[in-house]
Amino acid sequence: MSVLATLIALALGGLIYLSYRARPNPLPGIPHSRSSARRAWGDLPSLLAHYRETGELTSFAFEQCRKLGSPVAQLFLWPLARRPVVVLDDPRETEDVLLRRTEEFGRPPASASGIASVLHPLTLEGGSMGLPEEAMSERFLQHVLAPRVHRCAEELVELWKKKCELSRGRPFEVLDDILLATFDAVWAALLGKRGTSGLQDEIAAIAVDRTGQEDGEWDEDYGSDDLDQPVQFRGAARSAMYSAAGHLSGNRASIAWSLFPGLRSWFLWLTPQYRYYKAARDREIGRLVAEARKRVEKDPQDGVAAVGGESDTCLLDLVVRRPGVAEAKAASRSSASNDRTVRKDLSMLFAAVHETTAIALAWAVKILTNHRAQQFLLREALRAAFPTVSRISRPSVTDILTISIPYLDATLEEILRLANPIPFLSLAATIDTTLLGCPIPKDTPVLCNPQFAREPLSDVPEEARSKSCQQAWRLRKGQGFVTQDLDKFVPDRWLKADASGKARFNPEALTRLHLGPGGSRCFGSELVMQQLRIFLVLLVWNFELDTLPDALNSQLAEGIILRRPQECYVRLEKI
């Protein structure tokens, strides 16, 4: 045999061997696609086909559970990564894993590849980011943060009233408005000063976009019978901080789905645009941290004692005031190092709360648009709750947060259940364990479905569940989940009559996984809920959300880490 033939044979043999070694290594006893297990690229071709068809990435994993007819399945998502990702789509077991089996499942290691390493910042346990637990206390939220959020919600109402007048009954897109409003609100609540005057600038600059139109053409167009044509508006330019937030958020998503997230992060850091936006954000937050330190030095109170007091103007004040800062300085930690930690923690929380609130509010607008009867009932519940507030006025922030409105609570929970802004939670087995009777080796990545919007896949034998899951079910004393019509918007499912026959909010109607279950609610989730409550009350109080044409009413989502609607239009009528 010639040397060339020998080399060719060796090369072919090497390719065959590498191809064999690159094939996934399925875990025994867990359903999977047999065709995917036979190819080096695993489930990636199916994932890409799903994305081309729906525009969604995050729903693929749980659709595979439906196709395989099993609440536990395994996927092969990354070439050359032989270890599969286990997918869990069972609400009872997911609740158990997140709430009671924290010693068996934890956050994936930083070295985990791609989507297996993703954990939304909101899902970190309280204090994990170095932020004080008092920051999410009811008193601090109501007395310090809520008034700032309320002012931004009022500005969004003002902006939409102006757009409502200009649109003359036509629909217009509002996702950008919601992102801008929640950006202003979260920035003001966490960092004190308005990082931008985004909403105020938008109100001042808003006008119908006449690009490419002759004078008078727009008015003539409104003389036609077609009121389903959306109006395009021209507003103000976005601030550097807002642009930085959007750019950095998009990069987090690209890192999450890359084959080599560490390498992808390094390449992004080298790009001038990424470095510019990151430096601009860090510089601005660093400046605000320095200003907060000066305020605290003038009024050095204990961080816990001052919660909600007049000295605190935002979360940043509380962070730099807390005793841990003084202790860190006493231990000779440099002030610069501590400031970097504060800046990083606040940046993380800001991104999480801003995006989650905006996406949930966008879905709220879409859902209420498509459910006029429930929208009417919510508005009537608000009128009954605030009888002394005239229709041309608005409920105060104190009234919104302190008056019990069961139908509002029920509506918020039902919106979050269907919106599912955080479409999956990524964990890893910290020990050899099991899921629904299936063995899960240590370090196996696990994707949990936090959405409870479809009936469970099958009746799992009770003995296959963990002991903690069985015990929790017994404690419900027969009050199991009502799983009928889970794909429908039914706020009444969260209401229960008390002894006097009055409707009360029942938080145990279904497991609540969208922002963390039960007592393990995610750090920052209370701020998200507070903002949603304030924004939703003011929007429903001031506007009717009228029906939209089908062409502007897609229910599909997009996104990689968060599940945002592909489009979000409204047709408003002022009340």
Helix (H, G, I), strand (E, B) or coil at 470: helix
Measured distance CA(558)–CA(413) in Å, rounded: 22
Highest mean predicted confidence (pLDDT) among 31-35, 188-192, 337-341, 560-564: 31-35
Tell me: the pLDDT tens digits for 98-116? 889 989 998 766 445 454 4
The 3-state DSSP class for residue 433 equals strand
Question: Long-range contacts for 549-552 (Cβ within 8 Å, ≥24 apart)?
Answer: 549/171, 549/228, 551/228, 552/171, 552/228, 552/230
Across 19-33, 117-131, 517-531, the highest mean pLDDT is recorded for 19-33
How far is it, in rounded angstroms, from Cα 568 to Cα 133? 35
Average pLDDT score, the chain: 81
Cα separation of 170 and 222, whole Å? 9
pTM of the shown model: 0.86
What percent of the chain shows pLDDT beyond 90? 37
Cα–Cα distance between 142 and 193 in angstroms, integer?
Answer: 18
How many angstroms separate the Cα of 484 from the Cα of each of 171, 456, 472, 488, 505? 34, 10, 21, 9, 19
Nearest to residue 433, comparing CAs of 82, 117, 64, 96? 96
Token representation of residue 92: 């009872």
Query: Nearest-5° angle of CA 453, CA 547, CA 494?
Result: 35
User: Is the predicted pLDDT of residue 330 greater than 80, yes or no?
Assistant: no
Contacts of 156 (CB under 8 A, 6+ apart): 177, 178, 181, 199, 535, 538, 539
In this structure, the strands spanning 572-574 and 172-173 are unpaired
The secondary structure of residue 238, as a DSSP letter, is P
- The reply to whether CATH 1.10.630.10 applies to domain 133-209+230-422+527-574 is yes
Residue with tokens 């459910």: 371
437-444 contacts: CB < 8 A, separation 24 or more?
A: 437/461, 437/464, 438/27, 438/29, 438/30, 438/72, 438/86, 439/27, 439/28, 439/29, 440/27, 440/86, 441/27, 443/83, 443/109, 444/27, 444/83, 444/84, 444/85, 444/86
Confidence grade of residue 12 (pLDDT, cut at 50, 70, 90)? low
CA-to-CA separations, 371 to 223, 378, 403, 555, in angstroms, rounded: 30, 11, 25, 13
| DSSP letter assigned to residue 143 | I
Report residue 315's pLDDT band, with 50, 70 and 90 as the boundaries.
confident
Distance CA 268, CA 248 (A): 10
pLDDT, position 542: 97
Whole-number pLDDT of residue 531:
95
By CB neighbour count within 10 A (0-12 exposed, 13-18 middle, 19+ buried), where does 52 fall?
A: exposed
How far, in Å, CA of 111 to CA of 101, rounded? 23
Q: What is the arithmetic mean of pLDDT over 414-439?
A: 91
Q: Which CATH number describes the domain made up of 22-119+423-451+465-514?
A: 3.30.43.20
pLDDT bin (cut points 50, 70, 90) of residue 252 is low
**What's the distance, CA 24 to chain centroid?**
32
Quote the distance between the C-alpha of residue 430 and its chain's center: 25
Residue 544's pLDDT band (cuts 50, 70, 90) = very high
Task: Look at residues 483, 482, 464, 462 and name the one whose alpha carbon lies nearest to residue 474.
Answer: 462
Backbone angles phi, psi at 457, to 5 degrees: -60, -45
* Domain boundary assignment for the chain: 22-119+423-451+465-514, 133-209+230-422+527-574
Query: pLDDT of 387-402, one tens digit each?
Result: 999 888 899 999 999 9
**Coil/strand/helix, residue 366:** helix
Indicate whether 362 pLDDT > 90: yes
